[in-house]
Amino acid sequence: MSPNQPGQMPKMPIPGVKNLIAVGSGKGGVGKTTVSVNLAVGLASLGYKSGLMDADVYGPNVPLMMGINRTPMAFGERIQPIEQFGVKLMSMGFLNPGDKPLVWRGPMLHSVIQQFLRGVDWGELDYLVIDLPPGTGDVQLSLIQTAPITGAIIVTTPSDVSLEDARKAIFMFHQVKVPILGMVENMSFLMCPHCKERIDVFSYGGGRRTAEQMDVHFLAELPLDPAVRIGGDSGRPIVLRKDEGEPFLALAKNVAARAEEAAKEEGPKIEISD
């Protein structure tokens, strides 16, 4: 085999970072950031060294969901990530707090993503979770073309509209040869807090079905639980809560296991010893 085939093109590793996990979705508003935040905090709870890079420059919701309203420090040209709940964080929301929108053109996006990947002192990390913007646009391409992503997670709801877009996202990762660690069905069902009956608000089961059809691992179904949204709005991710957080902690375990498998499947890698 030629060492230059597309899937094997060398991409600059991020020094100290063992696994890069990209969390994407075809459609926005399916809970991609909720999954990213709870995954990163969950991995930290499990004892892994964990980081979270908010690459959703258009709507960086990570600061709100992690309860942060301060700005990171820079030493020389290096930005120091902010640490919260054991997770190292970087987000455009730290640099542009408040309500003013940033209107980005493609080339500016590329440069800010590179800054986030390589200009931040991530230190030693087992996992750097990257919260992608929804869809299949410039940011996704920039990241995928320049960073050695261990694997991607696709978040969807069970609605047909969301699944349609999730399939597009899967195709995009296939095209650019990024392994897919699996699919998460979010907002799978709601338990009525009054009568405890189950409500399938956005339908149910389409995530698992689509994963099977597309030969992608199915990672988790996560409930549509008002406590999840309250966790996000109040800056205290639900994975930190004992019972309600359980599905998210299980997801983190599952992702860690899948990432290990993906690393093995990739075969021997060139390691740079310290």
Binding residue for a second copy, selected from 201, 246, 257, 260, defined by CB under 8 A: 201
Q: Which is nearer to a second copy, 64 or 125 (CB)?
A: 64
Contacts of 190 (CB under 8 A, 6+ apart): 198, 199, 200, 201, 223, 224, 225
Longest distance between any two alpha carbons in the chain, whole Å: 62
Q: Which is nearer to a second copy, 121 or 244 (CB)?
A: 244
Position 197 contacts a second copy (CB under 8 A): yes
Position 165 contacts a second copy (CB under 8 A): yes
Position 223 contacts a second copy (CB under 8 A): no
Judged by CB under 8 A, the stretch of 41-49, 67-75, 76-84, 154-162 that binds a second copy is 154-162
Judged by CB under 8 A, the stretch of 15-23, 43-51, 193-201, 236-244 that binds a second copy is 193-201
Position 99 contacts a second copy (CB under 8 A): yes
Judged by CB under 8 A, the stretch of 46-54, 76-84, 228-236, 247-255 that binds a second copy is 228-236
Binding residue for a second copy, selected from 45, 162, 188, 254, defined by CB under 8 A: 162
- Report the site for a second copy in 28-67 (rule: CB under 8 A): 28-30, 33, 58-59, 61, 64-65
Position 164 contacts a second copy (CB under 8 A): yes
Binding residue for a second copy, selected from 42, 81, 134, 207, defined by CB under 8 A: 134
Separation CA 162–CA 151 (nearest Å): 21
Position 229 contacts a second copy (CB under 8 A): yes
Per-residue contact flags (x/-) with a second copy for residues 103 to 122, judged by CB under 8 A: xxxx----------------
Which residues of this protein are in contact with a second copy, per CB under 8 A? 26-30, 33, 58-59, 61, 64-65, 99-106, 133-138, 140-141, 157, 159-162, 164-165, 167-172, 175, 190, 192-195, 197, 199-203, 224, 226, 229-230, 232-233
